[in-house]
Amino acid sequence: MIRNGRLYCVRIFKVFALFACIAFCAAKPTSASEVLWKGVTECNGMWVEISFVYDSLTSSITKFKAIHRCINGEREVVWSPAVRIKVKKNGSFHYESKYLYFVKGTIFPDNKASGELSRSFRNTDCSDGSSYSFCTSWTASPVTIFTTAASQDTGKIFAPTLPAPVTTTTKSPKSGEWTAFAPNLGEFVFTVDSSGTAINKITFRFSNLVCGPVLGMSGGVEIKTSTPWPITDGHFTISSSMRPFNKITISGKFDETGTHTTGIWKAEAEDVICSDRWESR
């Protein structure tokens, strides 16, 4: 009887402990309240947009992103390290990648933040006859408060509603080689097949390309594919992985006459994404 009584008490204690744990866990927040910070700074032909998420409970920053752009919109370099940056008690923080990109700054009690960014390794050609250096100072302030459990993709909180695309009739592009001038990359030549419905080869001619860890890349690289890149309603995307890049992408659109094309080139190298416009000659 005593043994059974002890066993009964043990069971009662376990049940009590379980309910106590449930009550404690229910009272404890299941996800941290975080704040999205943003800011834009202009400097002599360039501007930089800063965004990051600050978690006051863990005193850390995540989803940091610095977007450098020419004011005329011709050039874009994105640095987005996938790291958690620790914020000290005085509000200061500092992070430097192995490729010498860095950010440092301070979050102040009056809901303002400011700091410095690494300089560009060379000036940026903004296709206006001049070249400029990246902005090295930045400011930011809180934009909105959100809970991680309530939003699966915080990057889409302020996503605008885009108008429905306008359908236009586009002639098939002429077959053969097309040469494109790409500021800050060099140029490239791609080949449209005889049917005008696909691209089966592209040759890059890099000219002192600088993007993240890639410093001053020059020379030619030819890429052929057994599965041609399709041209659909005048649109096409060429994407390939090649060293030293994670990926390089050429997206473009032929005009209604099929005799001219423009688009965007994008190179991804480590945690840096560089892009600019291009145009066929």
CA-based angle 163:165:166, to the nearest 5?
120
Q: 168 falls in which pLDDT band (50, 70, 90)?
A: low
Q: Which comes out higher in pLDDT, residue 98 or 232?
A: 232
Rounded CA separation 82/109 (Å): 26
Query: Cα-flanking dihedrals φ and ψ of residue 135, to 5°?
Result: -65, 135
| Residue 11 clears pLDDT 80, i.e. is over it | no
Rounded CA separation 183/281 (Å): 13
- Residues 65-90: what's their mean pLDDT? 89
Q: 263 falls in which pLDDT band (50, 70, 90)?
A: very high
Handedness of CA 71, 245, 207, 280 (dihedral sign): negative
| Residue 128 clears pLDDT 90, i.e. is over it | no
Question: How does DSSP classify residue 234?
Answer: T
pTM: 0.65
Rounded CA separation 81/101 (Å): 10
Q: 189 falls in which pLDDT band (50, 70, 90)?
A: very high
pLDDT score at 184: 87
The CA distances from residue 158 to 76, 161, 267, in Å, are 21, 9, 26
Percent of the chain at pLDDT > 70 equals: 78
Helix spans in 213-278 (H): none
Rounded CA separation 254/173 (Å): 7
User: How large is the greatest C-alpha to C-alpha distance in the chain, in angstroms?
Assistant: 97
pLDDT score at 163: 52
